[in-house]
């Protein structure tokens, strides 16, 4: 099972009544969204680590810089 960024969302179309599910997998998130979550102050550490693992899987090098 692929790693999830956040829980799946089921939305009902108000016109037709059909349900559509949106899955938020790490592999489907953009690089900018992953970096934004890793750098956010209020992000959960577990999900930050998942984001870092996904960036490493894509072959992106992460450089740590002191905040001043």
pLDDT string in tens for the chain (68-residue length): 899 999 999 999 999 999 999 999 999 999 999 999 999 999 999 999 999 999 999 999 999 888 77
Q: How confident is the model at residue 25, as a pLDDT?
A: 96
How deeply is 64 buried, as exposed, middle or buried, from its count of CB atoms within 10 A (0-12, 13-18, 19+)?
A: exposed
Instruction: Cite the beta strand spans of 1-68 per DSSP E.
Output: 4-12, 19-25
Q: How confident is the model at residue 66, as a pLDDT?
A: 84
Q: How confident is the model at residue 68, as a pLDDT?
A: 76
Domain ranges (residues) in the chain: 4-57
């Amino acid at each position: 099972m692929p790693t999830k960024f956040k829980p799946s969302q089921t939305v009902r179309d108000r016109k037709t009544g059909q349900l559509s599910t949106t899955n938020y997998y790490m592999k489907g998130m953009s690089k900018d969204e992953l970096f934004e979550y890793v750098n956010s102050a209020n992000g959960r550490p577990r999900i930050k680590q998942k984001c870092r693992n996904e960036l490493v899987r894509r072959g992106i090098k992460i450089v740590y810089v002191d905040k001043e």
